[in-house]
Chains A and B, each alone.
Chain A
Amino acid sequence: MVDALGIINFEDSTADIEGLGNYRPVPAISFLGRYRIIDFVLSNMTNSGMSQIQVHIKEKPRSLIEHLGTGLHYNINSKRGKLRLLYGESKVMSEVYNHDIGSFIQNMQYIEDSNKPYVIIAPSYMIYKIDYTEVLKEHIASQNDITVLYKNVDNAKTEFIGCDTLVMDKDKHITSIEKNRGKYKTRAVSMEAYVLSKRLFIELVNRAANTSALYWFKDILREVCGELKMVGYPVRGYVACINTLPSYFKANMELRCPDIASDLFVEDWPIHTMTNDSAPTRYSKDAQVCSSVVANGCVIEGKVENCVIGRNVTVKKGAVVKNCIILPGAFIGESAKLDSVIVDKSAIVHHVKKLVGTPEAPIYVKRADRI
């Protein structure tokens, strides 16, 4: 049981998932067939025993509200716990003012009202497994001001672009926070997940607002680096940062492999999501499927290779779908030939001779589009 208020923060403009991001906020994007991106951070919190959780929503709240509901399906007690969906209710003058500090200030009452002495803040677009019980225990024992989760990576030249990276001394004290501009291979990438006392959190939010009207929470952290005792806490196992369409594509593809997925999907650490009550998937006599993750409710009659297939997808006989991510409810018609394509929800792909992208630049088919 973790004595902390959970705050699921929204991502800044460095996270831009072309196409998919136009219809819903990043946390609500469908992931690996049956999940949505927010399921991972939220399951981490509830599996750690956190019962008071806030989800701050930047824009387009509908899909998140529907998906999260009251949080019962994430194991949040309906009386003792609370899943609160929060968004800035006053109109923002311009997109640049729509930042996390603004949302925290407008909803400060709900942060102050919490009886939890600590806050744990994390965005949803970083996908990994962590037990916050351990993190908080260490945070309290070490008497540091702020604990920051990070992951040591050796592909920072191509991945995690735009993410914060931590510069630490040998005791993991953070001396500075720098943006990853892809110059170096090995970096300690910040998960932008922070553990600190509620009192300090409120103080920093106010200080950020007083410093600049455009500051995000991570901006003020960068500034107080030398002043406060901040330490890094390493995340082990698989980490994906879903901040672009190619990184979304890559993470889905990687997690098809059971050996990689086993880092994230552990029996005693379930990833909760909203059930859709779909029937099992039916494979016809002509189906040819390999190396794919398939959600329930599908009817597969064609050829599917190296794909992630969402719920209630139909792949008709004669269709050939390779290296694709098909989102829930899409229909792939008889003659369609797709390679490295992301098909958004409920799109209908008919009469297409060929649609070919690459893993670095997958083709995106719009939601409910008819081709």
Chain B
Amino acid sequence: MRQNNNMVAMILAGGRGSRLFELTKKVAKPAVYFGGKYRIIDFPLSNCANSSVEVVGVLTQYESVLLNSYVARDHHWGLDAKDSGVFVLPPREKDETGFGEYRGTADAITQNIDFLDQMKAEYVLVLSGDHIYKMDYADMLEHHKKTGADATIAVLEVPLKEANRFGIMNTDKNDIIVEFEEKPAKPKSNLASMGIYIFEYKQLRKYLLQDEKNPDSSHDFGKDIIPNYLADGKRLTAYRFKGYWKDVGTIDSLWEANMDLINPNNELDIFDLDWKIYTEDVNAVPQFIGENADVNNALITQGCQVYGSVKNSVLFTNTVISQDAKIIDSVIMPNATVGRGAKVTRCIVADNVEIAPGAVVGNKDSENILLVAKNVSK
């Protein structure tokens, strides 16, 4: 018997994340590297595992080969017990409608109604595959049941002046949602939707099938399904989340979120032994810090070799920082190497990139973070 009343998680992981440029050329955004040893999707997957949500469907579409093979190895998150599993759900060819790509977040779920039926879902937890945060979904389900809601939406308090960048939930004093506004010019509330929903499956199923037939729909949860629920007077409650949450959609925000991890007081706390973030188990020796190395304010993982200076930076698996090289305010992704005497400032260096000895990349006064996705010669 599965715990949590057969709540099945559906992670939306089909998006490209085009503002991450070369980082998402061959992989979908949820598979982008993060925090030294992780990929972004490790966070929702680990949250599921830690919340005892044992059945997880991952809806993939854009450049999905790597992501599919990555999440299919469900033992990495401990989701491999008898009744658990991570199920890869890319678009497929169908008898009547032919090959159907996912036309929107809601459509991706609609096209997998047979999967949810098969799993005997009672509740559906809809998640994004590209957000960095820790959340106990079991607690959110408790809240959902307690409030007797038809659907529950996790919300985050954001500064009011930034609220126009988010989907905003206007609520009454009991946190019942009365209105949803996508990126409002004049926000009435500062409760931003985190794109995390719990639905009663039977009811959601009806709404999805209805939406599928609507030619004017964009088949999106925020734009179509939620407004339809509200129009019908359904009870939607807000679940207030407190803590670290980041959408790492741009090079700057990806860099920032990595940098946050260096701060000893950062709210995300990936060192919490009660809520570990699980990931792929790579065969790499422990990190080696060489004789003349100089390392401060850094997050470094296994397989790294550091002979130079690393300040205020994050080094991912198997990176090599040669003697006299200087890494400042930068993020160096797996298997990248920085040659002797090279200097890297305010950069994200993509995986497997080689920076030649003596090369200088990035600038301490740059407004934006530089993405280095190709080898750099001197």
**Which A residues fall within an 8 A CB radius of B?**
32-34, 72-73, 256, 258, 261, 265, 270-272, 275, 277-287, 289-297, 299, 312
Residue of B nearest to A256 (CB): B288
Q: Is the interface of B mostly helix, strand, loop or mixed?
A: loop
Contact A281 B300 (CB under 8 A): yes
Contact A275 B302 (CB under 8 A): no
**Which B residues fall within an 8 A CB radius of A?**
35-37, 75, 261-262, 264, 270-271, 273, 276-279, 281, 283, 285-293, 295-302, 305, 314-315
Q: Quick one: which of A34, A283, A312 contacts B302, CB cutoff 8 A?
A: A34
Contact A291 B291 (CB under 8 A): yes
Once the chains are docked, how many angstroms separate the CA of A34 from the CA of B303? 11
Contact B276 A277 (CB under 8 A): yes
Q: Quick one: which of B270, B293, B301, B305 contacts A290, CB cutoff 8 A?
A: B293
Contacts of B290 in A (CB 8 A): 290-291
Interface centre among B35, B261, B270, B271 (most CB of A within 10 A): B271
List 28 A–B pairs whose Cβ atoms lie within 8 Å, in order of A's numbering. Answer: A34-B286, A258-B305, A261-B288, A265-B285, A270-B283, A271-B283, A277-B277, A277-B278, A279-B36, A280-B300, A280-B315, A281-B300, A282-B262, A282-B264, A283-B296, A284-B264, A284-B297, A286-B296, A289-B289, A289-B293, A290-B291, A292-B289, A293-B286, A293-B289, A295-B286, A295-B287, A296-B287, A312-B273
Q: Quick one: which of B291, B296, B301, B305 contacts A281, CB cutoff 8 A?
A: B301
Once the chains are docked, how many angstroms separate the CA of A357 from the CA of B261? 36
Once the chains are docked, how many angstroms separate the CA of A280 from the CA of B286? 10
Residue of A nearest to B262 (CB): A282
Once the chains are docked, how many angstroms separate the CA of A72 from the CA of B262? 33
Taking A272-B283, A280-B299 as contacts, is the C-beta distance between A299 and B289 under 8 angstroms?
Answer: no
Residue of B nearest to A276 (CB): B276
Contacts of B273 in A (CB 8 A): 312
Q: Is the interface of A mostly helix, strand, loop or mixed?
A: loop
Once the chains are docked, how many angstroms separate the CA of A275 from the CA of B75? 12
Contacts of B300 in A (CB 8 A): 280-281, 283, 294
Contact B288 A281 (CB under 8 A): no
Taking A284-B296, A291-B290, A296-B301 as contacts, is the C-beta distance between A279 and B281 under 8 angstroms?
Answer: no
Q: How far is the CB of A323 from chain B (nearest CB, A)?
A: 14
Once the chains are docked, how many angstroms separate the CA of A10 from the CA of B17? 54
Once the chains are docked, how many angstroms separate the CA of A294 from the CA of B75? 26
Taking A275-B281, A290-B291, A296-B37 as contacts, is the C-beta distance between A283 and B286 under 8 angstroms?
Answer: no
Contacts of A291 in B (CB 8 A): 289-291
Residue of B nearest to A33 (CB): B286
Taking A289-B293, A291-B291 as contacts, is the C-beta distance between A279 and B270 under 8 angstroms?
Answer: yes
Contact B296 A285 (CB under 8 A): yes
Contact B286 A294 (CB under 8 A): yes
Residue of B nearest to A262 (CB): B285
Q: Quick one: which of B35, B271, B281 contacts A297, CB cutoff 8 A?
A: B271
Q: How far is the CB of B298 from chain A (nearest CB, A)?
A: 5
Contacts of B302 in A (CB 8 A): 34, 280, 295-296
Q: How far is the CB of B336 from chain A (nearest CB, A)?
A: 15
Once the chains are docked, how many angstroms separate the CA of A202 from the CA of B273? 47
Contacts of A293 in B (CB 8 A): 285-289
Q: How far is the CB of A114 from chain B (nearest CB, A)?
A: 27
Contact A280 B301 (CB under 8 A): yes
Q: How far is the CB of B74 from chain A (nearest CB, A)?
A: 13
Contacts of A312 in B (CB 8 A): 273
Q: How far is the CB of A298 from chain B (nearest CB, A)?
A: 9
Residue of A nearest to B46 (CB): A277
Contact A287 B279 (CB under 8 A): no
Once the chains are docked, how many angstroms separate the CA of A279 from the CA of B315? 12
